[in-house]
Amino acid sequence: MDVHIEFSGGRGHRDEIYRQLRAAILDGRIREGESLPPTRELARRLAISRTTVSAAYDRLTAEGFLAAKVGSGTFVRVGAGRHLTPPPGEPVASLRGTAVWDDVPRAPRGFAPSPEFDFRAGVPDVSRFPFAAWRRLVAAQVRISNADLMTYADPGGHPALREAIARHVGVSRDVRAAPADVLVTSGAQQALDLVARVLLKPGDVAAVEDPGYPPPRLLLHTLGVRTAAVPVDSEGLVVDALPDDCRVVYVTPSHQYPLGVSMSLARRLELLAWAERHDAAIVEDDYDTEFRYTGRPLEPLYSLDTGRRVLYVGSFSKVLSPALRLGFLVAPPSLRDVLTKAKYLTDWHSAAPAQAVLAEFIDEGGFAAHIRRMRREYQTRHDLVAAILKRDFAGMLDVIPSSVGLHLSAFGHGDSAAVRRAARQAGVTLYSLGDFAVEKRTTAGFVFGYGAIAADRIEAGLCRLREVMADKGGD
């Protein structure tokens, strides 16, 4: 391994090597079992004597950080990273993030391990990911050694993917966009980040739904934006409750997260008129409507908009996999350049090889076929959850009608957070509506995600939940 040692001039070379290697082992930059460069090689690179390097290695060996294996070099000892106490006189790191970060809950560590009955919302069935097709496309890409994909690329996105996305949203969502209007992002979350960076400054007001998807609200908060939590009713966001000074409205009109309602046409038109009157922008998050089970979708705000105030956000997280970190933003032409600049300064561009594979997957028809297959599967699960909730939870839960996406919600009574905790103990993981409530207007009830639970596990899982609720005296 190629270790980097910096001589600041303050300490002797031996001490510097000792201190920097030790710190790298303790904070995991050099992992247990990894080999260090031979003393002769490191001495040559640093232009110092080999004895100095050996002395530093000897001290680390004596302290149990390194072990020498005859004939194969010096290794970081297994267990070395567990020496967690700083050496005497070495200050404990005292740097902290700014105060806004104290308001943000700990970042999730991923979704594993899965509970016995997993009703968490927002996760697709990744066991059905089209692995074979993906493998073939990745292999083909590597085989032709396409060096163009391995250098810095257009921040706006891989051209073939922008084209494929423009076609996909045109056909499936009636969002008419040219490839140049499409900006490829690292998921919907980055799309929102870019929008906030270019349209908002600290102190500005942005509206979010209440209850709503927490990451956008938290992100806005960390950027110094004041968020107004606006209630949602059976027709979607209550436009009358929007504050006059709001600059950006973040909404999930096709499938409100978490309630699941679809914003009525009247409300959509009201919101657009409101944005026009207040010179505000609307971010339309259309994260999972590829999966629609009955009825025709209402036109997206983006397509109804005549004032070019709507930014349409899509994601491949639900329809394929959240691990790809691929999403997109379709923005009015007036924002195209500034959003591309923001994307460039944020992370230059999303991973080009993955974008190219996705473009091919869409072009060859694999994506549409995957959606059709998964739609059938999720419809079975959706219908099962809806039927069992109606049959077995009557009087306890009122299902909120919804025929789209990967979750269904239901209003309840009583302390849903306590039920959620007890259910978890009993092997059933699900969110309560209170998990998404900002001002705690809507707290009783649950969100039933069916992306991560197989159809043949649903009945047993809901039966277990019912027992928990009965124990708690109803929800």
Ligand X SMILES: Cc1ncc(COP(=O)(O)O)c(C=O)c1O
Determine which helix (DSSP H) or strand (DSSP E) holds 217, and give its type and residue range.
helix 214-222
Candidates 25-33, 47-55, 62-70, 186-194; binding stretch for ligand X (CB under 6 A): 186-194
26-85 residues near ligand X, rule: CB under 6 A? none
Beta carbons of 235 and 264 less than 8 angstroms apart: yes
> Is residue 251 helix, strand or coil?
strand
Residue 55 main-chain phi, psi, to 5 deg = -65, -40
Shortest distance in whole angstroms from residue 276 CB to ligand X: 25
Shortest distance in whole angstroms from residue 324 CB to ligand X: 9
252 touches ligand X by CB under 6 A: yes
213 touches ligand X by CB under 6 A: yes
Report, in angstroms and rounded to the nearest whole number, the Rg of the chain calculated over CA atoms.
27
DSSP 8-state class, residue 400:
P
Number of chain residues interacting with ligand X (CB under 6 A):
13
> Is residue 399 helix, strand or coil?
strand
Figure out which of the listed residues 155, 156, 322, 449 binds ligand X, where binding follows CB under 6 A.
322
Candidates 65-73, 102-110, 187-195, 446-454; binding stretch for ligand X (CB under 6 A): 187-195
Shortest distance in whole angstroms from residue 213 CB to ligand X: 4
Binding mask 282-311 for ligand X (x = CB under 6 A): ---x-x------------------------
DSSP 8-state class, residue 318:
T
Figure out which of the listed residues 20, 189, 254, 340 binds ligand X, where binding follows CB under 6 A.
189
CB atoms within 10 A of CB 159: 15
Nearer to ligand X, 134 or 287 (CB): 287
361 touches ligand X by CB under 6 A: no
Burial of 171 (0-12, 13-18, 19+ CB in 10 A): exposed
122 touches ligand X by CB under 6 A: yes
Nearer to ligand X, 315 or 402 (CB): 315
Figure out which of the listed residues 188, 219, 251, 357 binds ligand X, where binding follows CB under 6 A.
188
412 touches ligand X by CB under 6 A: no
20 touches ligand X by CB under 6 A: no
Candidates 112-120, 314-322, 412-420, 424-432; binding stretch for ligand X (CB under 6 A): 314-322
Structure token pair of residue 441: 């207007």
Shortest distance in whole angstroms from residue 212 CB to ligand X: 8
Cross-strand bridge partners of residue 69: 73
> Is residue 151 helix, strand or coil?
coil
402 touches ligand X by CB under 6 A: no
Nearer to ligand X, 188 or 410 (CB): 188
Which pairs with CB-CB distance under 8 Å and at least 24 residues apart come from 422-425?
422/468, 422/471, 422/472, 423/464, 423/465, 423/468, 424/115
Q: Cα–Cα distance between 65 and 26 in angstroms, integer?
A: 9
Shortest distance in whole angstroms from residue 186 CB to ligand X: 7
Residue 10 main-chain phi, psi, to 5 deg = -75, -40
Q: Which residue is nearest to ligand X (CB)?
A: 187
Beta carbons of 283 and 332 less than 8 angstroms apart: no
DSSP 8-state class, residue 3:
-
Nearer to ligand X, 188 or 206 (CB): 188
Binding site for ligand X (CB under 6 A): 122, 187-189, 213, 252, 257, 285, 287, 315, 317, 322, 327
